[in-house]
Amino acid sequence: MAYLQVENVRITGISACVPKNILVNVSVESQDYNVDQFIASTGVREKRYSEDFTSSDLCFFAAEKLMEDLGWQKDDIDALIFVTQTADYLMPATSCILQDRLGLKQECYALDITHGCSGWVYGLSSAATLLSTGMMKRALLLAGEGRKRSFSPPDLLFGNAGTVTALEYFEGEKSFQFHFGTDGSRYDAIIIPDGGSRNRFSEKSLISVEIEPGVFRMGIQSRMKGMDVFSFGITKAPKSVKELAEKFKLDLDTIDYFIFHQANLMLNEKIRKKLKLPEEKVPYSIEAFGNTNSASIPLTIVTKLGTVLNNKRSALIACGFGVGLSWGTVAFTLNDPLISNLVEV
């Protein structure tokens, strides 16, 4: 059973950065539904989108802001974890580049994690575990998605965002409790098939083929089996929350907020109703920012909770699920965290 409990670590602050540029959904590529039906179903009216910023750029700006707001010195950071599916280069790891760009000391642990929608939860588990012995004191978890590797028309569902979660060793802090799951048999449910070492980039990778009626994709562009992902999300996400609650004897009524990966409003509402959670405990950022992959959980905390979390302890459960297929759920406490104002670039 893939459970984990991590002690003596707390989340000290969270920040997020998005492009200023707002893209409003006014038309759809599909031939079988219109934009109003798309918005009613997914909840995505608009999102932030720019061709100017990579994932690491957006995370970099969010990190500068958070370290300034927290008053953390650059020499204080012992570890940096960067979660993205759009690294700056195929090699080296972008976390190494960010260590230098942020001016962090060379005595720094740096790691890239290639995960999407579940990525923040996985990154959090890695960062928290690193700090839990107290040998490393402070870590930055960067998670986000910026511009894609190859040019694609802006996707209706997905937006750009970079986030940073600051963690530190804090003796006696209430523990993080995790549950994880993986179903690699559905690896092609969300995939960019070409450009890796399995299907090397070739001339064929640039040929646009009709993958479903009216929808064309090149091999180097991402594609999604929407029905499979939907079916996966409405079953695995609530199950993971229930399993976590059962394992750690958590009463869901005592949780203040449930932050789900912002996949698609209809899907998220199914999850909320299955768990019988009241609307006011389940904030959504998807209407204004779209599905922002690994950034969606911290972005929702920054834009929808923000100062609500000030001067008190709040109990949260966050659940990420998607590409992999991969999912993870975490129960944690925020104790008067510093939530930076949204950075727009």
Partner 1 sequence: MELNEFIRKFADQFDDADINALSAKTAFRDIEDWSSLVALYIIGMVDEEYGVRLRGDDIMKSITIEDIYNIVKSRE
- Judged by the rule CB under 8 A, the positions of this chain that interact with partner 1 are 30, 32-33, 37-38, 41, 212, 225-228, 230-231, 234-235, 266-267, 270, 273-274
**Minimum CB–partner distance for residue 234 and partner 1 (Å):** 5
Q: Are 48 and 161 in contact (CB under 8 A)?
A: yes
Q: Are 47 and 158 in contact (CB under 8 A)?
A: yes
Nearest in space to 191 (alpha carbons), one of 220, 223, 215, 216 = 223
> What totals of helices (H) and strands (E) does the chain contain, helices first?
8, 18
**Minimum CB–partner distance for residue 154 and partner 1 (Å):** 19
**Minimum CB–partner distance for residue 145 and partner 1 (Å):** 23
* Closest to partner 1 by CB, 174 or 270: 270
Q: Are 66 and 340 in contact (CB under 8 A)?
A: yes
* Closest to partner 1 by CB, 105 or 273: 273
**Minimum CB–partner distance for residue 337 and partner 1 (Å):** 34
Residue type, 83: V
* Closest to partner 1 by CB, 21 or 231: 231
Q: Are 173 and 9 in contact (CB under 8 A)?
A: yes
Q: Which residues contact 201 (CB under 8 A, 6 or more apart)?
A: 194, 195, 220
Q: Are 53 and 44 in contact (CB under 8 A)?
A: no
**Minimum CB–partner distance for residue 291 and partner 1 (Å):** 14
**Minimum CB–partner distance for residue 254 and partner 1 (Å):** 26
* Closest to partner 1 by CB, 174 or 239: 239
Q: Are 162 and 61 in contact (CB under 8 A)?
A: yes
CA distances from residue 105 to 64, 82, 93, 143 in whole angstroms, order as listed:
15, 16, 17, 21
* Closest to partner 1 by CB, 5 or 34: 34
The whole-angstrom separation of Cα 19 and Cα 158 is 13
* Closest to partner 1 by CB, 193 or 226: 226
**Minimum CB–partner distance for residue 228 and partner 1 (Å):** 4
Q: What interhelical angle do 55-70 and 94-101 show, nearest 10?
A: 40
* Closest to partner 1 by CB, 87 or 237: 237
**Minimum CB–partner distance for residue 264 and partner 1 (Å):** 8
* Closest to partner 1 by CB, 41 or 133: 41
Structure tokens at 170: 């804090």
Q: Are 271 and 281 in contact (CB under 8 A)?
A: no
